[in-house]
């Protein structure tokens, strides 16, 4: 009898429910987008109730399709969850009511708070592997406690529960199991990387009481069963932050293996093994995964705040393409960018620069420039940013990469992937089955359910052929193009000192 695993993939702009078989093949899926709320410049929010609703609708429709294929839903043995990371939620322990919208990872309202925390000169990085930045959950929760009366009152009365999106989903699916897995906890600025527990010094520094936080658990164990809805009775047995899920889905199980996910942002993870490696070059140290009681695996991560998000900006804000996938056709009409470089720092620069005073910058415009050049420069921006991160990884991890595994929506662009290979000087591998993030969640759930017994068994799952993009430029050409990018980066910095952002501190 065949066995199947379900996966909830709750991203930044859409939610999906996918069903995989025991060989890792995608059987069926359903996807729905949800609304983005922008109450003020730089603020990004989601409605927590809508996040739940779209999960239910996607699961319902995917199971309907599964049944129409002649499959039995009772053959689904477990579900895994993967989610947008760092996004901060708070809700009432008794009623389950959200006390504020979810503050999304790319939100910049805490810029001034970050400056105040940095001024205290406390070494956060050595404990949690992260710099003090508006990207991470701790400063968002601090803002909520000090700016939203309902939240402060609930915290004071010990009725508030804090969590990232995984915690919110598991709490509602299981009816009050309050947990988060190590990969999501490692993105809050509150977890000690070595002990994988909430750190007393960090909690004191960010003024977060421990009673509001979920229990930290592994990425692969039985958290609880779904209490009602289309998934009723199914055990929730896997949980990974979205980038770690793609890392597992790409099966980067050996030291030195790396993947880059080109989604709304772009995220490059390098396997550094069972001990954390603290970066000296602007990278993040994070937990890659932990299977049950086994030793965790750590990764160095480089985060790019805007990748595919810039393509969406071309579509929604400039109107030069009708659909995101049109960018490839537009970019292919020119051989190069005509000297145009687009630094897509809409909310500052992430790794390896970490400059929240930078803003999006188009340089090199002339009367010759047209929308095709800008489209191509948009694709190339993610490639140059990846090169900057990979250069830092080589210095920190002392690992020479031979190939980069790519996934995410932007990886569908042949121009983008070929440019990436050219800029890096190594081959780029794009799998035929692109749903690696959801697959990662399914794999850790399946491991906990006993469908796969070992990492080797998962590694040896048969997958469809991948497309390999090989570099076509010599080193001199690569370095010349990257020098132009680095000069453009310098021109993007310091802009918020000229145009003061309306931050809320």
pLDDT tens for each residue of 223-269: 999 999 999 999 999 999 999 999 999 999 988 888 998 988 898 99
pLDDT at 224: 96
Helix 149-156 with 137-147: angle, nearest 10 deg? 100
Percent of the chain with pLDDT over 90: 76
pLDDT at 496: 83
Query: For residue 43, is pLDDT > 70?
Result: yes
When the pLDDT of each residue in the chain is averaged and rounded to a whole number, the result is: 92
Query: For residue 311, is pLDDT > 60?
Result: yes
**CA-CA distance, 384 to 364, in Å (whole number)?**
16
pLDDT at 352: 87
Dihedral angle, C-alpha 157, 190, 145, 309, nearest 10 °: -140
Percent of the chain with pLDDT over 70: 98
- Token pair of 207, please? 């003024």
pLDDT in tens, 135-180: 899 999 999 999 999 999 999 999 999 999 999 999 999 998 999 9
pTM: 0.86
pLDDT at 281: 86
Query: For residue 95, is pLDDT > 90?
Result: yes
pLDDT at 397: 65
pLDDT in tens, 449-474: 999 988 888 988 866 678 999 999 99
The conformation of residue 298, written as its DSSP 8-state character, comes to E
Nearest to 339 by CA among 378, 369, 361: 369
Residue count of the chain, please give it. 505
**CA-CA distance, 71 to 115, in Å (whole number)?**
55
Query: For residue 425, is pLDDT > 90?
Result: yes
pLDDT at 463: 64
Dihedral angle, C-alpha 129, 135, 137, 140, nearest 10 °: 140
- Token pair of 317, please? 């804000």
**CA-CA distance, 327 to 346, in Å (whole number)?**
19
Nearest to 1 by CA among 90, 71, 91, 67: 71
Query: By the 8 A CB rule, do 239 and 441 touch?
Result: yes
**CA-CA distance, 283 to 288, in Å (whole number)?**
14
């Amino acid at each position: 009898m065949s066995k199947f695993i379900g996966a909830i993939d709750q991203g930044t702009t859409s939610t999906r429910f996918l069903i995989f078989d025991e060989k890792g093949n995608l059987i069926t899926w359903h996807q729905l987008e949800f609304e983005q709320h922008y109450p003020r410049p730089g603020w990004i929010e989601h409605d927590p109730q809508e996040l739940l609703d779209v999960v239910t609708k996607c699961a319902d429709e995917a199971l309907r399709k599964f049944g129409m294929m002649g499959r039995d839903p009772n053959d689904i043995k477990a579900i895994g969850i993967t989610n947008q990371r760092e996004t901060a939620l708070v809700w009432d322990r008794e009623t389950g009511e959200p006390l504020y919208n979810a503050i999304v990872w790319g939100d910049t309202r805490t810029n001034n708070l970050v400056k105040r925390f940095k001024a205290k000169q406390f070494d956060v990085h050595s404990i949690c592997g992260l710099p003090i930045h508006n990207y991470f959950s701790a400063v968002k929760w601090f803002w909520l406690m000090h700016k939203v009366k309902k939240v402060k009152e609930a915290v004071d009365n010990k009725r508030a529960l804090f969590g990232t999106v995984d915690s919110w989903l598991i709490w509602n699916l299981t009816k009050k199991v309050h947990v988060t897995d190590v990969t999501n906890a490692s993105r809050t600025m509150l977890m000690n990387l070595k002990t994988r527990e909430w750190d007393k010094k960090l909690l004191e520094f960010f003024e977060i009481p421990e009673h509001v936080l979920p229990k930290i658990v592994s990425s692969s164990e039985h958290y609880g069963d779904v209490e009602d809805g289309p998934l009723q009775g199914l055990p929730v047995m896997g949980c990974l932050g979205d980038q770690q899920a793609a890392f597992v889905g790409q099966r980067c199980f050996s030291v030195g293996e790396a993947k880059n996910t080109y989604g709304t942002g772009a995220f490059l993870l390098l396997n550094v093994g069972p001990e954390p490696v603290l970066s000296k070059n602007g990278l993040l140290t994070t937990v890659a995964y932990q299977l049950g009681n086994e030793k965790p695996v750590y990764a160095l991560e480089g985060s790019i705040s805007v990748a595919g998000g810039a393509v969406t900006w071309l579509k929604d804000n400039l109107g030069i393409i009708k659909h995101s996938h049109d960018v490839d056709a537009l970019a292919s009409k020119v051989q190069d960018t005509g000297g145009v470089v687009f630094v897509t720092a809409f909310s500052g620069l992430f790794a390896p620069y970490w400059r929240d005073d930078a803003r999006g910058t188009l340089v090199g415009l002339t009367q010759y420039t047209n929308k095709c050049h800008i489209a191509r420069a948009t694709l190339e921006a993610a490639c140059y940013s990846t090169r900057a991160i990979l250069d830092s990884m080589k210095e920190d991890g002392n690992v020479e990469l031979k190939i980069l595994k790519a996934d995410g929506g932007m990886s569908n662009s042949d121009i983008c992937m070929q440019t990436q290979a050219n800029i890096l000087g190594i081959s780029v591998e794009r799998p035929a089955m692109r749903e690696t993030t959801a697959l990662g969640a399914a794999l850790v759930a399946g491991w906990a359910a006993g469908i796969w017994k070992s990492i080797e068994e998962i590694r040896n799952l048969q997958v469809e052929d991948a497309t390999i993009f090989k570099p076509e430029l010599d080193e001199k050409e690569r370095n010349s193009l990257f020098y132009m990018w680095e000069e453009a980066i310098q021109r993007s910095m310091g802009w918020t000192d000229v145009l003061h952002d309306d931050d809320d501190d």
